[in-house]
């Protein structure tokens, strides 16, 4: 790992609250379903905890459910989710078999507004417990909300995407959020989509290394 990136990791703050000690993902899921820790409980249709494989070596953390996720109770099932599936499939990763997908926030913010800091803080113990229980080899942080929640790094995603960070023993890579890629569809060399293609190939290569080790 480059010296500069290691220093940044060391500067990243520890999570504000320790993970609650759920014994299993089922237990965690049950706790989420009845959660009333923040105002988003009043407006949600479904709590959105995860999809994919809890035994996967790769975990993707997004921001928060959108409308389709709120309707179905599953993360990343709308247009951004379909693009995420395609990005993963481009390196032969199946989003149900090879990946565990979740969000920082488990309930939809009304109108898809950005989550408030107190909402992130309220939901964070669930995310930390998910990481501990899934225990992936690699964590993809999709977008600035996920980067800030885990690494505590407030720099723009454009500055830090594609770099490896170590957080509590996990190899983490910030990447563009798929919704951002939908708004920037160019595939030219150097475009966000092209950069995502570089990043996902790097993830695939590291995953192969770590799972063969
Ligand atoms: N965007 C996210 O960050 N998460 C979802 O589940 C859907 C869209």
End-to-end CA distance of the chain: 18
Domain boundaries defined on the chain? 2-212
* Ligand 1 center–CA 63 separation, angstroms: 6
- Residue by residue, DSSP assigns 111-126 as GGPPPPHHHHHHHHHH
* Ligand 1 center–CA 170 separation, angstroms: 22
Flag whether pLDDT at 48 surpasses 70: yes
Q: Write down the pTM of the prediction.
A: 0.91
The structural architecture, per CATH, of the domain 2-212 is 3-Layer(aba) Sandwich (3.40)
Are 204 and 92 spatial neighbours (Cβ–Cβ below 8 Å)? yes
Is 50 a pocket residue for ligand 1 (Cβ < 6 Å)?
A: no
Between 81 and 19, the higher pLDDT residue: 81
Closest to 106 measured CA to CA, from 183, 11, 177, 35: 35
Is 76 a pocket residue for ligand 1 (Cβ < 6 Å)?
A: yes
For residue 181, the tally of other CB atoms under 10 A from its CB is 21
Q: Which atom of ligand 1 is nearest to the CA of 76?
A: 6
Mark 135-151 as b/e (b = at least 16 C-beta within 10 Å): ebbbbbbbbbbbbbbbb
* Ligand 1 center–CA 73 separation, angstroms: 11
Between 1 and 192, the higher pLDDT residue: 192
Between 178 and 13, the higher pLDDT residue: 178
- Quick one: what percent of the chain has pLDDT higher than 70? 91
* Ligand 1 center–CA 27 separation, angstroms: 23
């Amino acid at each position: 790992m480059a010296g500069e990136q290691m220093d940044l990791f060391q500067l990243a703050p520890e999570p504000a609250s320790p993970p609650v000690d759920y014994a299993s993902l089922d237990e965690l899921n049950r706790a989420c379903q009845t959660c009333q820790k923040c105002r988003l409980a009043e407006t949600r249709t479904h709590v959105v905890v995860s999809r994919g494989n809890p035994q996967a070596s790769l975990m993707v953390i997004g921001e928060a459910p959108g409308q389709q996720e709120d309707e179905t109770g599953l993360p990343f099932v709308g247009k951004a989710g379909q693009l995420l599936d395609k990005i993963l499939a481009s390196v032969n990763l199946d989003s149900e078999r090879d990946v565990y997908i979740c969000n920082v926030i488990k309930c939809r913010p009304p109108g898809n507004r950005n989550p408030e800091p107190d909402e992130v803080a309220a939901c964070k113990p669930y995310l930390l417990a998910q990481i501990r229980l899934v225990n992936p080899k690699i964590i993809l942080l999709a977008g600035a909300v996920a980067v800030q929640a885990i690494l505590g790094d407030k720099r723009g995603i454009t500055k830090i995407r594609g770099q490896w960070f170590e957080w509590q023993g996990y190899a983490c890579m910030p990447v563009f959020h798929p919704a951002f890629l939908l708004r920037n569809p160019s595939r030219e060399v150097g475009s966000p989509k092209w950069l995502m293609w570089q990043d996902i190939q790097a993830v695939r290569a590291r995953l192969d290394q770590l799972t063969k080790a």
